[in-house]
Amino acid sequence: MHPIPMTRRGLLGSIGALAAAASSASLSGCGGAEAATSPSSGELLIKGGRVLALDAAGSQLATGDVHIKNGIIVAVGENITAAGAQEIDATGTVVMPGFVETHWHMWNGLWKGMANDATEYFRLRSLASSYTVQDHYLAVRYAALQALNVGITTCHDWADGVRNYADFAAHMMALSEVGIRAKASYPGTSSGNVTRREDLVQARDWLQSNGQNRIQLGLLLDGAGAQFEQQVRLARELGIAPITNHEGFFNHPNVLGPEFVYTHGTDVSDAEIDAIRSNNIKVALCPTTDPMIGVGLPPVYQLLSKGVKRENMGFSVDVSCQTSPEPFEMMRTLVNASRIQQTGLNAIFDVVRAAPKWIFGYGDALRVATAGGANVLGLSEEVGALAAGKKADVILVRLDDINMQPSAGSNIEYQLVQCGSSHNVDTVIVDGIVRKRHGRLVDVDVKALTRDVAAAQEALKLRGGLS
């Protein structure tokens, strides 16, 4: 029942035709029209950009450099020299940490264009039983490459569509090959059955051996019911985090803890906010999908005004079949939602007269999108800011595109959040490896990938009886 062996070679073999099926989108040697420069590793010197470190001190440099060696940031400063380093010209860009995403059902990205609202989305979930292992692999690969394309360097793969270890192995393989940093979370129960300890151990150990220190295991507990607390204890014993679900966990007060991630929250109650605050629980907000399906705006103001720390909030894509990942739009929505909730006013000049002092600003949104997300996933020591010793997850955002203006005097945090767009993301580096350069994913044939996804969707609809 669990045929996937633990080695990378064995996993590749077991997935079988995956490599061949994905050959058109392979990371190695596709060389198509979409290909840019080859991945670079070793030593990089990002030179001459406007540096927004988003560190605790709020460091900014009008013109600065970031020195990377073996996947680690070794220095952030002015006029750094590094003989032998590959130089990346950052002129005309903002250099900042990559975005950290905290909750994404990557497996159902194959439904793009099919899930116009929540009703359609939940109807489509019956397709899970028609997925092949290759569908899981392709969906996660597709989502992870979309993430890199928009500057998301860490994601949280919510693998709630998997039925067994083989399906989950395809997720782990896709994340590993794409090169994104990730938490990959396994369902702790399935159709009322408790996930076997052996499966969790096998997944954890596979990632330790093959995840290049970029991917770690988390646990999902939707529908866990009476098994909830025993699965939390097992996760803690095995060192698996975060622990998350869609239902809230407030009826299990004895096991709540700081590795829990609460999702969505448009209907969060005051009592639940108290539990979130007092247990140091983290929150994965959904700024694009929750408004899209009509359930509301992310409860930024409610959480902040009742004492939940900004540092404990991250943004999340949720489902990329409904809205594509757009970090700048997510940040904008967080700011705008908070303002709407703070004023409670809907006449322009009532707001003008009130002249509110906003409790959630542009710098806050940028930090939720980076350091906040890292804290939500338990990765704040590693990523979320540009500082010596952090992992080298760095993005360059162009300031000389038509929707921007490059003046040194501009309020850069405001400009990024309210004016920025994912098409401004010029360069994306994860673990010191260049995954996007000059606006194009490195060694990814995007047209072939989207053709593969479209074909998989058609086949899935046929198998699922939807066409």
Nearer to Zn ion, 116 or 450 (CB): 116
Burial code of 439-452, b = ≥16 C-beta within 10 A, e = fewer? ebbbbbbbebbeeb
Using the contact rule CB under 5 A, the part of the chain among 119-127, 131-139, 271-279, 313-321 near Zn ion is 313-321
Which tokens is 40 given?
């670079």
For residues 239 and 343, give the distance between their C-alpha atoms in angstroms, rounded to a whole number: 43
**Minimum distance from CB of 246 to Zn ion (Å)?**
6
**Minimum distance from CB of 318 to Zn ion (Å)?**
5
Show contacts with Zn ion in window 220-249 (CB under 5 A). Answer: none
Nearer to Zn ion, 267 or 458 (CB): 267
According to DSSP, the β-strands at 243-245 and 189-190 are: unpaired
**Minimum distance from CB of 95 to Zn ion (Å)?**
32
**Minimum distance from CB of 3 to Zn ion (Å)?**
29
Using the contact rule CB under 5 A, the part of the chain among 94-102, 137-145, 196-204, 315-323 near Zn ion is 315-323
Nearer to Zn ion, 290 or 452 (CB): 290
Nearer to Zn ion, 295 or 352 (CB): 295
Residue in the structure block whose two tokens are 């605050």? 277
**Minimum distance from CB of 135 to Zn ion (Å)?**
19
Q: Binding-site residue total for Zn ion (CB under 5 A)?
A: 1
**Minimum distance from CB of 160 to Zn ion (Å)?**
8
Residue 293 CA: distances (Å) to CA of 36, 264, 318, 352 = 37, 12, 12, 31
Using the contact rule CB under 5 A, the part of the chain among 112-120, 310-318, 341-349, 438-446 near Zn ion is 310-318
Nearer to Zn ion, 160 or 452 (CB): 160
**Minimum distance from CB of 87 to Zn ion (Å)?**
41
x/- letters, 316..345, toward Zn ion (CB under 5 A)? --x---------------------------
Using the contact rule CB under 5 A, the part of the chain among 17-25, 200-208, 213-221, 311-319 near Zn ion is 311-319
Q: Which residue is nearest to Zn ion (CB)?
A: 318
For residues 205 and 202, give the distance between their C-alpha atoms in angstroms, rounded to a whole number: 5
**Minimum distance from CB of 140 to Zn ion (Å)?**
15
For residues 116 and 65, give the distance between their C-alpha atoms in angstroms, rounded to a whole number: 44
Burial code of 184-206, b = ≥16 C-beta within 10 A, e = fewer? bbbbbbbeeeebeeebbebbbeb
For residues 392 and 395, give the distance between their C-alpha atoms in angstroms, rounded to a whole number: 10
Nearer to Zn ion, 127 or 429 (CB): 127
**Minimum distance from CB of 25 to Zn ion (Å)?**
26
β-partners of residue 181 are: 154
For residues 9 and 374, give the distance between their C-alpha atoms in angstroms, rounded to a whole number: 31
Nearer to Zn ion, 318 or 401 (CB): 318
x/- letters, 264..303, toward Zn ion (CB under 5 A)? ----------------------------------------
- State which H helix or E strand residue 435 sits in: strand 433-437
Strand runs (DSSP E) across 234-374, as ranges? 243-245, 260-263, 282-285, 313-315
Which string of DSSP letters, residue by residue, matches 178-235? Answer: HT-EEEEEEESEETTEEPPHHHHHHHHHHHHHHSTTTEEEEEE-TT-GGGHHHHHHHH
Residue in the structure block whose two tokens are 């600003």? 361
Nearer to Zn ion, 123 or 451 (CB): 123
> DSSP 3-state assignment of 319?
coil
Using the contact rule CB under 5 A, the part of the chain among 4-12, 312-320, 347-355, 400-408 near Zn ion is 312-320
Residue numbers at the binding site for Zn ion (CB under 5 A): 318
